[in-house]
Amino acid sequence: MRLHFLGTGGSEGIPCLSCSCGHCEIARQNPSLRRYPTSLLLLNEENEGLLVDAGTDVNRHLEDVRLQGVALTHWHADHWTGLPRLSWTPRPLPLMCPEPERAGEFLKKGLVPLRKEPFSEERWGPFRLWSLPLRHSVPTWGYLVEDDTSGHSVALLWDTKGLPAESLRFLQDRRPSLAVVDATYPPGTEARNHNNVGEAVELGLQVAREVFLTHFSHQNWPPFRLEDFLALRYPSEAVALAYDGLKHDLSYPLGLSLRDDWARAVKP
């Protein structure tokens, strides 16, 4: 299974419009540090795909993909506003989401919301997925996705602050190989509805061997400073920052090499 990160930012994106903070200024100077709202495409070897969230128009990334369905984490604008355009598809696709009654307000018939309870298994082509409640300001689901062809599995955990006990147990029983976790705020920052970077790493490592961090706010530290923090605090753990456009194949380990390459790329 491959992961294609279409967006890795929080609601405001980076740079945030008219913001002159250091993080936004660095992103204006270096386009590779820009972040659009969080969206992730999962692909198998046959280019069959599963899309998780679309906070902006993502159709151009899907043209060669045989999309099997869309999973939405929650109805905050930075996660769903790309869905209306997608929903014009003449080949209807299933939409997994909390509060499915809200879909009718925004979407055409191409996206068909499912009425599912959390933790029930759903199968879309080669993918099996389970929704699990997260801890956020509105009803929000994370997802566990398994790809039958490769046997890979990944936990997708945004937007959230920690995890409800039942969701944590569910993931610890199944032990996915990789977790992608909400790391909105800088280390040490306390917030009610999102993790800081330290909380995100600890949460990810509780459920998986390897961790990608995502959903960064412009209030977070710029990437090179976060890379240094991760290298010092978690020197032997497979933890990395995701960034827009990153493609990762779960057949390969997520190791320090990736982090070093990324750090070298962004440091002046």
Cis peptide before 15 (omega within 30 of 0): yes
Q: Which residue has the tokens 């440091």?
A: 267
User: Cβ of residue 186: shortest distance to Zn ion, in angstroms?
Assistant: 12
Q: Is 159 in the site for Zn ion (CB under 5 A)?
A: yes
Q: Is 230 in the site for Zn ion (CB under 5 A)?
A: no
User: Cβ of residue 13: shortest distance to Zn ion, in angstroms?
Assistant: 10
Q: Is 21 in the site for Zn ion (CB under 5 A)?
A: yes
56-85 residues in contact with Zn ion (CB under 5 A) are 76, 78
Radius of gyration of the chain (CA): 17
User: Binding Zn ion by CB under 5 A: which of 24, 54, 155, 242?
Assistant: 24
- CB-hemisphere CA count at 13 Å for 229? 16
User: Cβ of residue 122: shortest distance to Zn ion, in angstroms?
Assistant: 22
Q: Is 12 in the site for Zn ion (CB under 5 A)?
A: no
User: Cβ of residue 153: shortest distance to Zn ion, in angstroms?
Assistant: 23
- Reported in sequence order, the residue ranges of the chain that DSSP labels E, i.e. its strands, are 2-7, 39-43, 48-52, 66-71, 93-96, 111-113, 121-124, 127-133, 141-147, 153-157, 178-182, 210-214, 238-241, 247-249
Specify the residue, 118 or 125, whose C-beta has the smaller distance to Zn ion.
118
Spatial contact of 134 and 109, defined as CB atoms under 8 Å apart: no
User: Binding Zn ion by CB under 5 A: which of 1, 3, 16, 111?
Assistant: 16
Q: Is 241 in the site for Zn ion (CB under 5 A)?
A: no
Q: Position 197: which residue type?
A: V
Q: Is 182 in the site for Zn ion (CB under 5 A)?
A: no
Sheet holding 121-124, edge to edge: 121-124, 127-133, 141-147, 153-157, 178-182, 210-214, 238-241
User: Cβ of residue 218: shortest distance to Zn ion, in angstroms?
Assistant: 4
Spatial contact of 120 and 109, defined as CB atoms under 8 Å apart: no
User: Cβ of residue 164: shortest distance to Zn ion, in angstroms?
Assistant: 16
Structure tokens that stand for 101 in this block? 């009654």
Q: Is 218 in the site for Zn ion (CB under 5 A)?
A: yes
Specify the residue, 21 or 231, whose C-beta has the smaller distance to Zn ion.
21
Specify the residue, 91 or 192, whose C-beta has the smaller distance to Zn ion.
192
Structure tokens that stand for 16 in this block? 């945030």
Specify the residue, 132 or 250, whose C-beta has the smaller distance to Zn ion.
132
Instruction: Count residues near Zn ion (CB under 5 A).
Output: 8
Could you list the residues that contact Zn ion (CB under 5 A)?
16, 19, 21, 24, 76, 78, 159, 218
